[in-house]
Amino acid sequence: MDMHKYLDIAPEVAQAIAQGRPVVALESTIISHGMPYPQNVETALNVERIVRENGAVPATIAIIGGRLKAGLSPEQIEYFGKKGQAITKASRRDLAVLCARGMDGATTVTTTMIIAHMAGIRFFATGGIGGVHRGAETTMDISADLEELGQTPVMVVCAGAKSILDLGLTLEYLETKGVPVIGYGTDELPAFYTRRSGFGVDYRVDSPEELARIFKAHNDLGLKGGMLVTDPIPEEYAMPKEVIDQAIDQALAECKAQAIHGKQTTPFLLARVAELTGGDSLASNIRLVYNNATLAAKTAAAYCQE
């Protein structure tokens, strides 16, 4: 079985992997679905620059013309940003169809992990992960991100789970899947726009070097699955919990009233929250991605020195 016949690794990324140098994967849904143009392109290019400044090679992941891409050119990032939501949001279930039909796909946390692992990349920085949606006990709406974390050995650095989710159930699900949830400099699960959620993490770690040692042991032990590192949004960009909660409650009510479900849910909710908070949440979103890219690059660099 040759899944690599569908995979293109950018020359710079391939060289870094071959030489055992640090590489950090970045997703493309944040470009196409996470932000409006041109902020999406600007943010994506800045994230790549931040990864480089912190000692690693960036590999933005996407599907273009049915090819799985590990590493995009600035022109390809611009193409994704301009095409925006016209690009299919691709989860695990979509990969085979997109490859067979020669289509484009924006990679979620799930598909970024899959393609990163295929390419030999162990670290991935993103904004927030998906999780168990509120009301999942009746809708069964659970993000494929959690399932992927349970089976694909990539460290995912994020700002926690988006507060539009049921955070308690998300943590329970991760525990069932055997995924360690680590708080970077915190004992509490961050909730994307806010630093606190009221839910504890499994372990607190205070340095990229220790994160690297733990992930090294995880891989040496042959433990199936990934590791989730939750890095709180920097204090100066965090939003007041009550402001964000109020916006989320309103967005959730509108989502239900308009019968929006499935893969449309998260983009709708994030866009409405951004509107309801006067764009403050978009600024926060950009800052937390930069913060996570910094930590992922430092951890990847430390891992390569172990």
pLDDT tier, 226 (very low <50, low <70, confident <90, very high otherwise): very high
The residue ranking higher by pLDDT, 61 or 165, is: 61
Q: Which of 123-127, 250-254, 272-276 has the lowest mean pLDDT?
A: 272-276
Q: What's residue 215's pLDDT? A: 98
Q: What's residue 134's pLDDT? A: 75
By DSSP bridging, strand 7-9 and strand 105-107 are unpaired
Q: 69, 89, 162, 298: which one is catalytic?
A: 162
The pLDDT of residue 235 is above 50 = yes
Backbone angles phi, psi at 4, to 5 degrees: -70, -10
Share of the chain above pLDDT 90, in %: 70
Q: What's residue 275's pLDDT? A: 82
pLDDT digits (tens, 9 = 90+) for 98-108: 999 999 999 99
pLDDT digits (tens, 9 = 90+) for 149-201: 999 999 999 999 877 788 999 999 999 999 999 999 999 999 888 898 889 99
Residues near 7 by beta carbon (within 8 Å), at least 6 away in sequence: 67, 68, 70, 115, 118, 119
CA distance to 13, 73, 290, 299, per residue, from 56 (Å):
10, 16, 14, 9
The pLDDT of residue 214 is above 90 = yes
The pLDDT of residue 85 is above 50 = yes
Domains of the chain: 3-305 (3.40.1790.10)
pLDDT tier, 1 (very low <50, low <70, confident <90, very high otherwise): very low
Over residues 66-91, mean pLDDT: 96
Over residues 14-26, mean pLDDT: 97
Round to whole Å and give the CA distance between 258 and 252: 10
Round to whole Å and give the CA distance between 122 and 116: 7
The pLDDT of residue 258 is above 50 = yes
Over residues 137-152, mean pLDDT: 88
The pLDDT of residue 6 is above 80 = yes
Over residues 63-77, mean pLDDT: 97
pLDDT tier, 264 (very low <50, low <70, confident <90, very high otherwise): confident
Over residues 267-287, mean pLDDT: 80
Whether 75 is a known active-site residue: answer: no
Q: 27, 48, 78, 148: which one is catalytic?
A: 27
The pLDDT of residue 45 is above 60 = yes
Q: What's residue 82's pLDDT? A: 96
Whether 162 is a known active-site residue: answer: yes
Q: What is the mean pLDDT of the chain?
A: 92
Nearest to 60 by CA among 32, 84, 18: 32
Q: What's residue 202's pLDDT? A: 97
Q: What's residue 259's pLDDT? A: 84
Q: Give the end-to-end CA distance of the chain in Å, rounded to a whole number.
A: 32
Task: Count the neighbouring beta carbons within 10 Å of the beta carbon of residue 293.
Answer: 27
pLDDT tier, 142 (very low <50, low <70, confident <90, very high otherwise): confident
Share of the chain above pLDDT 70, in %: 98
Round to whole Å and give the CA distance between 74 and 31: 12
Q: What's residue 279's pLDDT? A: 67
